[in-house]
Amino acid sequence: MIIAITGASGVGKTSVLSALAEKLPEIKKIKIFHFDDMDLPNWDELEDVKKWQEEATVEWIDKLVNTARQEEVHVLFEGSTEIKFYIQGFEKNNHRDYKILLLDCEEATMKARLIQRGQPELYHPDMIGWLHYLRKDAMARNIEIVRTDQLTIAEVGQRIMEELDVSFDN
């Protein structure tokens, strides 16, 4: 199974998967990938950010599906991308063994987390709009929303592991 996680900056995507990575060395059947592991473009020079995001997401899904199939592993992936691009990538690969999760939180929590990690400049009207857009899109598509401001990192991680039918001690 592939679990694709999306959410705005500051909702906890990387924190949750990093915490899981620390607990998973003994579980060799799970691989974790981050969208930002790829070479990112110079945003100021990019003509069509949305087109790039679509192409990059589909490219990632190609890689994830190949990894899951060839290595017979579960895959966890996180990136701040549109849900429809995840779906498009899975459909292109004729891959049905996946779940998309939206990690979400209140604006105040997002702001506090971005300040805490030294990126207060990411808290701006466009990012707040992105937070709301993803939430609305997830609801419209019946995508599960996991509220990271109402759960601990360990609880969010456990929720993800439940999807894979894998457990670990907190």
Residue in the structure block whose two tokens are 């996991």: 146
Task: List strands edge to edge, sheet with 98-104.
Answer: 30-34, 74-78, 2-6, 98-104, 144-147
Residue 167's pLDDT band, with cuts at 50, 70 and 90, is low
Q: pLDDT (tens digit, 9 = 90+) per residue, 52-72?
A: 889 999 999 999 999 999 999
Q: What is the mean pLDDT of residues 155-161?
A: 91
In the chain, domain spans: 2-163
Q: Is the pTM of this model over 0.85?
A: yes
Six token digits for residue 134: 């993803």
Third-level CATH fold of 2-163:
Rossmann fold (3.40.50)
